[in-house]
Every structure is written in C-alpha cells, then in structure tokens.
Structure 1
Amino acid sequence: MDIVALKGLGIGLLFVLAFVGGLIPLCCIRSHSQGMAESAITRRVISLLNSAAAGIFLSIALVHLLPDVRMIFDKALNITHGGEVEGGGMAMGFDWAGFTAGVGFLFVVFVEQLMMWCLESSERTDNTASDTSHLVKSTTRESDTDGHGEYGALRERSPSECQSEASITVQRGLDDLQPLTSFRAIVLLVSLSFHGLFEGLALGLQLEEQDTIDLLIAISIHKGIESFTVLLRFAQLPGRDVLKWSSLVIFSLTSPIGIGIGIPLADPSVNADALLVNGILQGLATGTFMFVTFVELLPVELAGKDDRLLKCTCLIAGFGLMCGLTQI
C-alpha cells in the first residue's frame, strides 16, 4: 500500500476510534437525570472510573509523555549544540523536559486559583446584596408576626417549604462550583488535544511504511481509552450538551488534523526550532496531566470513605493498563 494511502487510512481509523470511545460515556451517563437510588449507583460507578482514569493519566504523564518530551529535547538540542548535550532532555546541566512539565502544572494551578478568587469575589458581592435584602424582609416579618420575630416566621413555614429552601441552597452551591469543574474538563481536553495533534503530526511525518504502520498501531491502541477518559469528565457536567458534543468532535479531529498537516511536510530534514516548539507544548501538556491526576482526581476520590480498596485497585489497574499499552 502507498504510504500516503496508509496515512489516509490512519486518519479515518483514529477519528472513528476517538469518536466511539468518547461516545460511550456521553450516552451512558445522564447527569442529574435519574432517581436517587440510580444516582447513587451512577456516582459509585463514576467514582471507580475516575480512579482508573487517574491511573491512566499518571501513566500517560510519566511513562508516555515525559520520555517523549526528553527525546524531542535531545534531538533539538543535539542539532543546536552539535551533539554535545548530556541526554535525557538535559542541556547545561538543566532538565528542560522536567522544567516545562512543572511550568505546565503551575500554570494550571495559577489559572484555577485566579478563577476561584473571581468566583469568591462574585459570591461575596452577592452575599452582601442578599444580606441587605434579608434585613429588610426580617424587619417586615417581625412587624407582621406581632413581636414573635423569626420564631413566628419559622413556625408558619411548612416542612415542604423548608426542604425546598434547602434544595435551592444546595443547587446554588453546585452552580457556583460549575464554572470551576467545566474549566478543569476543558484544561484536560486541551492538553489531550495537543498530545493527539502531535501524535498525528508524528505519524504524518513518517517516511517509511513499516514505521508508519508501527506508530499507527501504537496510537490506535490507546486512542479510544484517552477519548473515553476525557469525555468522562464532560459527561459528569450537568446540562451543556453542546459543550459535550463539541468536545467529542474536537478531540476526535485532533489526530487526523495532525496527520493531514504532517503528510505534505514529510521531509528527511529536521528543523530544530520545530522540535523545540513540539517539546515545549508536549511538556506543558505533561504538566496538565499531573494537575488532573494529583489535584482533581486523586484527592477527591481517595478522601471518600466508600470503596477505598476498590478505588486503589482501579487506580493501579488503570496505571498498569496504560503502561502495558505504551510498551506495545
């Protein structure tokens, strides 16, 4: 088979694998749409899947991405310094691969904290306005209950009204957290999309048919799993179907787009600047994987009292699965 036709086959194959892998959680998880018992079962399943996803992301960051970043930096620095670098992404005694991964991690932490600060500032403003309104209503209520004050007002409320107010309060808290949860899901989507784009670019730049086949097999094996894990985060967001389906289409197109870019650029010559840009972006993506693993997934799942050993088993299984697939 002609190598260009083989790469064209890879475009269609990777798109289908990513789309089907992401379609499964979107179709199976209906957030906030089931009864209480079903929601409890769904939350337990999602919690176990999140634990497995944490292991997968940890493996992607440390076993798959970080070594690739070091290899890319070695190639670029060898070209720039005439083969005098120490190896392992090192130049002038400094680990550039680890540095870019750390910058990616800290950048996401900074942006998230900035977003939380903005949300808290908005909440304080809303609470100030709410307290003023409540003071006026309390004064009016005291005059209407002939000196009984708040006790009289509470006595007049039915249990259903109190329960309704509690539900509104809980829902308001969930709504306040919604922008932060969406931000984290989008960060994960962007990082995996960059990774998929450069995977496709690497495939499109291959010059030998056998190398193209080997790389296509390696990418295909974990493409569906990556799509499943990233769309699992979006499937848990209430509402916003447009965001969920748009994310599925965007992620499914990243690797095919990378292949399409790489096909006309396939050239035996190697550009050091292009390699450095590739390595920096891949390193930043590595940092975002570490953030998702150590800040978002693991603290939440391991803090729960239920299914501790089962969650640890899923975590180890996800890590081992992705490590095994990386070695194929």
Structure 2
Amino acid sequence: MDFEKAHRSKKILSLCNTFGGGVFLATCFNALLPAVRAKLQEVLTLAHISTDYPLAETIMLLGFFMTVFLEQLVLTFRKERPAFIDLETFNASSDAGSDSEYESPFMGGQRGHTLYSEPHGHSHGLSIQELSRSSPLRLLSLVFALSAHSVFEGLALGLQEEGEKVVSLFVGVAIHETLVAVALGISMARSAMALRDAAKLAVTVSAMIPLGISLGLGIESAQGVPSSVASVLLQGLAGGTFLFVTFFEILAKELEEKSDRLLKVLFLVLGYTVLAGMVFIKW
C-alpha cells in the first residue's frame, strides 16, 4: 500500500515537473526572447546602429553558456552533483526507471539521508546536515547554488514592461519555485537538519527572487542608454538560464525515464499551451 502511494506521488510530481518544463519553454521563447528583441531594437535605434545579426539570440545563448559553465565548474571542484541541480529539477522518477548518472536526492527510501547517490547503490554520503556542520564555505556554496537561478528569475520579472509578459513569467516562475521549495523541504526533513539552520537556508533562498525583482525594477526605472543596455543584457542572460533549466534540468531528466513517456509529452505540450495562450489575455 505504501509502495503504491509512493509510486503514485512520484508519478504526479514527475508530471508536474514536465508541465513546468512546458511552462518554462513558453516563458523562454514566447515571453523573454520577444522582450529582449524589442528592448534591443530600442537600444540600437538610440545608438543609430543597424544590423541584421541575431544579437538577442546571441545574448540569450551567452546566458545559457554561463549557466553551463557555472554548473561544470562546481562539478569539477566538488566532484559531486551540486545540490541545486537535483533540488531545482525536482526529478521525482523512480530509481528503477532511470538511466541517469545521478539519482533523485530525496526519493530513495533506504538512502533518504543522502543528497547524492549513484546507480548500483553507491552513495557519496553528502547530506545537507553534513553541509550545515561543515565549513561555512561549503554551506555558502550550497546556498549560492540554490539562489543563483532565483535571482535571474526575479530579474526577468522585474525588467518586464508589459503586463501580459509579467503575468506569463510570474506563472512560470511560481510553478518552478514551488517545485524547488517542496524538494528543498523534503531534503531538509529527511536529513534531520536543525530547525534554525533550515529556517536560515529557506529564508535566504526565498529572498532571492524579491532581490532579483528589486534589482530589475531599479534598472528598468532608470533613464538613459546605459540602463537600457543593462536591461537587455540581464534579460538575455536570464533567458539563457531559463533555457538551461528547461532542456538540461527538466526535459533531459524526465524524458529519459522509461515510464509514462507519452503522458509526459502530453503534459509538456499542455504546459506550453497554457502559458502561450496567455498572450491572448489582456491584463
């Protein structure tokens, strides 16, 4: 009975994650990319520059490469998968159906206290509890990793000027951050982390999106060419972050699982359709 309940929960969470992937896909290509193009055109017009080069797409890909670089940098020096990847992705699929090099940090029953596990039962044995007891630098790296994308998501929200784009982005970020929060809560509960440390970590991570929004609003409210250039660059970099999360951290994980493949594709398309359809609603 418990096994069936756990399997059903995993399936629901996995479908929610795939739906979130569709939402992020629409957020990236239907909201952020057009916004970057429009803002970039304003900047080029002010600077009296005319070019056919796809600058908006290039800036977005720079953000994507920056995110890939940061992830690989953490992997290189830590030799373990960084915590924010699994927490953020909320990979809720079963161990048996996964061909991934890294397994879910909080869905393995007998390994519930570890954040990192490998196939064939080998565990790195690194938990949030151990991080909290270890050097401040390691705990800081965990908090930084969890917060990095949240800041860029907040920036993307704060830099928007049109109501429909703000609403679309808000829905996408809300769905994604809800999955992050649930995953983080489960991981901290299973690692028996001290309540005070858990509260500090939760408050720090949750403050990152408002921080990003505040920075975005401050940049957007400033007048002049420098603020417009900064707005274009930050929106493009944020779009690259959305691109990375969509393809590397959601779709790559969920679509490699052996179960419910077609159902996941359906939820992916559904997530995209829901957010893409919001463009027809006047806010």
Is TM more than 0.5 here? yes
8 Å CA contact 2:26–2:275 kept in 1: the answer is yes
1:247 to 202, 205, 208: 205
- Correspondence 1:118 to 2:77: yes
After superposition, give the CA deviation of every residue in 1:131-163 in whole Å (9 maximum; x if it has no partner): xxxxxxxxxxxxxxxxxxxxxxxxxxxxxxxxx
8 Å CA contact 1:76–1:273 kept in 2: the answer is no
Aligned residue runs from structure 1 range 161-240, under 5 A: 172-173=123-124, 175=126, 185-199=146-160, 202=161, 215-216=162-163, 219-220=166-167, 223-237=170-184, 238-239=187-188, 240=198
SS in 2 for 1:175: coil
Structure 1: tracts of 5 or more residues without a match = 1-34, 86-90, 123-163, 203-214
After superposition, give the CA deviation of every residue in 1:281-300 in whole Å (9 maximum; x if it has no partner): 00001111110011111111
* 1:68 aligned partner, one-letter code: A
* 1:305 aligned partner, one-letter code: K
8 Å CA contact 1:73–1:97 kept in 2: the answer is yes
The structure showing larger relative contact order (alpha-carbon pairs under 8 Å, at least 6 residues apart) is 1
Question: For the pair shown, which has the larger CA radius of gyration, 1 or 2?
Answer: 1
Partner of 1:99: 58
Partner of 1:47: 14
1:325 to 271, 278, 281: 278
- For 2:111 and 2:214, the matched residues in 1 are separated by 50
8 Å CA contact 2:143–2:201 kept in 1: the answer is no
- For 1:102 and 1:262, the matched residues in 2 are separated by 22
Offset of residue 251 of structure 1: 2.5
2:36 to 65, 69, 72: 69
Offset of residue 226 of structure 1: 2.2
* 2:229 aligned partner, one-letter code: L
Which range moves more in the overlay, 40-49 or 219-228?
A: 219-228
Distance 1:221 1:97, change over 3 A: closer
Distance 1:222 1:166, change over 3 A: closer
Indicate the RMSD between aligned Cα atoms, in angstroms: 3.6
Which structure carries more helix by proportion? 1
After superposition, give the CA deviation of every residue in 1:175-204 in whole Å (9 maximum; x if it has no partner): 3799999776534312211112213xx3xx
After superposition, give the CA deviation of every residue in 1:271-326 in whole Å (9 maximum; x if it has no partner): 22211110000000111111001111111100111111111111000011111113
1:303 to 247, 256, 273: 256
Structure 2: tracts of 5 or more residues without a match = 82-109, 132-137, 189-197
- For 2:46 and 2:112, the matched residues in 1 are separated by 64
1:288 to 241, 246, 249: 241
Partner of 1:274: 227
- For 2:244 and 2:158, the matched residues in 1 are separated by 20
Q: With the length of structure 2 as denominator, give the TM-score of the two structures.
A: 0.67
Distance 1:236 1:221, change over 3 A: same
Distance 1:222 1:75, change over 3 A: closer
Partner of 2:193: none
Q: With the length of structure 1 as denominator, give the TM-score of the two structures.
A: 0.59
* 1:109 aligned partner, one-letter code: V
Offset of residue 235 of structure 1: 1.9
Q: How many residues align structurally?
A: 227
Partner of 1:60: 27
Distance 1:241 1:317, change over 3 A: farther
